[in-house]
Amino acid sequence: MKIKPMKFKNIVLFLLIPSVLLFHSSAKADRGLRCQGRLVTIGDTKAEVLEMCGKPDQVKQWEEGHDRNFSQIYDYEKERYIAPKLIEGPILMERWTYDMGSNKFIRYLYFQNGELIKIETGEKGSH
How many angstroms separate the CA atoms of 24 and 12, rounded?
18
Domain boundaries, the chain: 31-124
- Which pLDDT band, with edges at 50, 70 and 90, does 73 fall under? low
**pTM attached to this predicted model:** 0.65
Round the CA-based radius of gyration of the chain to a whole number and report it. 20
CATH architecture of the region 31-124? 2-Layer Sandwich (3.30)
| Contact status, residue 30 vs residue 120, Cβ threshold 8 Å | yes
| Per-residue model confidence as pLDDT tens digits over 3-30 | 555 554 554 444 444 444 444 433 346 7
Q: What's residue 12's pLDDT?
A: 42
Query: What φ, ψ does residue 9 adopt, rounded to 5°?
Result: -60, -45
Q: What's residue 30's pLDDT?
A: 76
Q: What's residue 84's pLDDT?
A: 62
List, edge to edge, every strand of the sheet that includes 91-98. Answer: 58-64, 91-98, 105-112, 115-124
| Per-residue model confidence as pLDDT tens digits over 24-71 | 433 346 778 999 899 999 999 999 999 999 999 999 999 987 655 555
Burial class of residue 119, CB neighbours in 10 A (0-12, 13-18, 19+): buried
| Per-residue model confidence as pLDDT tens digits over 82-125 | 766 666 778 899 999 999 889 999 999 999 999 999 999 999 98
